[in-house]
Amino acid sequence: MNASSIVTIALTDPGEGLTEAEILEIKVAVGDRLEINDPVVEVETAKSAVELPSHVAGTVVEVLVAVGEEVLVGAPLMRVDTTGGSAPSPAPAAPSGAAPEADPSAAELSAQATEQAAEQAEGQTEQPDAPSEGEGAPAAQEPKNLVGYGERATGTRRRRRRAQPAQPAAEQQVPIDRILAKPPVRKLARDLGIALHDVLATGPEGTVTRQDVLNAQQRSYGAEPAAHDGAGAYFPEESPQAPEHLGDVMKTTRDQPFSGVTSDERTTRVPIRSVRKRTAEAMVASAFTAPHVTVFNEIDMTGVTRIVSQLRASREWADVKVSPLAVIAKALLVAIRRNPEVNASWDEDAQEIVYKHYVNLGIAAATPRGLIVPNLKDAHLMTLRELAEGIGELARTARAGRTSLRDTRDGTITITNYGVFDIDSGTPILNPGESAILGVGAIKEKPWVVDGRIEPRRVATLSLSFDHRLIDGALGAELLRDVSAVLEDPSLGLVWG
C-alpha cells in the first residue's frame, strides 16, 4: 500500500443545503471491502436519516468518526485503500529480550499474517495477547502498526468509539458494533433515553428488538428484565421500578455516550440538532414574518365517520388504510377550488403575490426526529383513494426517517391533525412560504341539536390559521365554512367538486 492509493471519503451534502449532520450508524469497519455505491454511514439531516454511499472501491483502513458525532460537510469520514488489498494486520510482537527490528515492508506484513493464520487453522499455535505496559514488557517490544491502522483485537473488528463511563463488571454488556434496529425500536430507545450501543441484542443477526430495549430500561432501574406483556406500553403498569414522570425517564440520558446529553439531578441539557433545529428556525421565521390569524368552527363529523366505516368494510378498499384525514383533505381541496385566492404565497423580494394553480398538500407528521411536513404533489388532481394512499405513504416514510427533500419542498397549504393526541383545538403556525394551515381536533361524541332534537353526534373542532397579508378575515372564514359544509354533508363534495 502506498500513500497515493489511500482515498478519503468525506461527508457530502445529500441535497438539503446541509452544513452538518449527526452520525447515526457506521455501516463498515476497518478491513471491510467496499464497492462503489455501498453505504458507509447513516446520518441524520434536517429532514430524515440518509445513507451516504462510497464513491470508491477498496478496503477500509481507518474510520475517523464515531456514532453520535456532529460532522461538518466536507469533514473526512474514513480512509479507503483503493488497491484492492485487505487492511494488513499488526506485526506480531518480538520475543522477550530480542532487539527491536526495523518496520517490515507491506509484503513482509502480509506474509507474516498469512503464516500466522495458517498456524491457527491447523491448531499448531495460538497468538498470545501482547503484554501491556506495567506487566514487564518494554515499549520497544510493542507490535508495530502502519500509520492510520491502529491495533485490532484478533478476529474482531471494532470502530473508533468515545470513552464510556465504566460500569460494574456484572452489569457490563457487549456493545453492538453495527446497530440493526427498526425505526419503531429506535424511537422507543430515544423516548426511554436508552443508548442503542449499550443494548444487548437478541434478534436475528444481532438486531435490537423492542424487548431488548425494554430489558435495558429495566436494568437501568435495577430490576430484572420482565417478559414482554404484549400491551405495547413503554412502562408496564405493574412494574414498581417504572418512572413516574418525564424527569425520571430523562435521568437515563446521563449515561448516553454519544448524544451530547448532560444531566444532573435537576436538569437535563440536550443539544439542538437536525430536524428539531430546523423546525425551530422555520417556526420562528414564520411567526415573526407572516401575521397569523386563526378562526375556529365546531362541526358535526358523523357523516365523515360513517363514510370511513363503510369504506373500511368495502372489499374494494381492503388494501387501503382509510382514515377521516383523507376525507378532510378532500374537503379542503374542494373548498380551495371554490376559494382559489387562498392558494398563494408572498414574494417579498419581488413585491408580488403569487397565485398558484396547483395544490401541494402538506401533511404534518410527528416523527422520532421531530415535526416534518412532507406534501402530496398536485393533490388537487387526486381521487379520495389516491389521497388515502398518498397520506399513508407519506406517514410511513416520515416515521421511518426516509422523507426525501423533494417531498418537503414547494408545499402550498397544510393539514395538521392534533386530534390523534386527543386534543380538541389549537392555533397552528404556518409552514414557511404557505398561506394557510388547517388544524383538526379530536372527533368526540357530544350532544348535538339535529332538527330541534338533541342527539349524540361525532363532533370535532377545526381551526384555520392563515397569513393575513394574503387572506383577509372574510376569505379565511369562507374557506373554513366551505370545508365544514363538505364535512357535515359529504354529498356537497359531488356538487362542488
Nearest CA to 61 out of 147, 124, 162, 179 is that of 147
Residues 97 and 141: beta-carbon distance below 8 Å: no
φ, ψ at 417 (rounded to 5°): -110, 90
- Can you tell me the distance from the alpha carbon of 214 to that of 290, in angstroms, rounded to the nearest whole number? 44
Nearest CA to 152 out of 124, 176, 129, 184 is that of 129
Report which residue type is found at 199: V
Residues with active-site annotation: 468
Residue partners of 245: CB distance under 8 A and separation at least 6: none
Residue partners of 192: CB distance under 8 A and separation at least 6: 213, 217, 234, 249, 252
Residue 348 CB coordination number (10 Å): 9
Residue partners of 483: CB distance under 8 A and separation at least 6: 328, 331, 332, 334, 335, 438, 462, 464
Q: Under DSSP, is residue 321 helix (H, G, I), strand (E, B) or coil? A: coil
Report which residue type is found at 149: Y
Residues 88 and 1: beta-carbon distance below 8 Å: yes
- Can you tell me the distance from the alpha carbon of 76 to that of 404, in angstroms, rounded to the nearest whole number? 24
Residue with cell 385566492: 341
Residues 275 and 370: beta-carbon distance below 8 Å: yes
Ramachandran assignment for 172, one of left (phi > 0), alpha (psi -120 to 50 degrees), beta (any other): beta
Q: Where are the alpha helices (DSSP H) in 89-200?
A: 106-121, 183-192
Run of H or E including 481: helix 473-488
Residue partners of 151: CB distance under 8 A and separation at least 6: 90, 143, 145
- Can you tell me the distance from the alpha carbon of 382 to that of 376, in angstroms, rounded to the nearest whole number? 9
- Can you tell me the distance from the alpha carbon of 73 to that of 13, in angstroms, rounded to the nearest whole number? 6
- Can you tell me the distance from the alpha carbon of 497 to that of 338, in angstroms, rounded to the nearest whole number? 9
Q: Under DSSP, is residue 412 helix (H, G, I), strand (E, B) or coil? A: coil
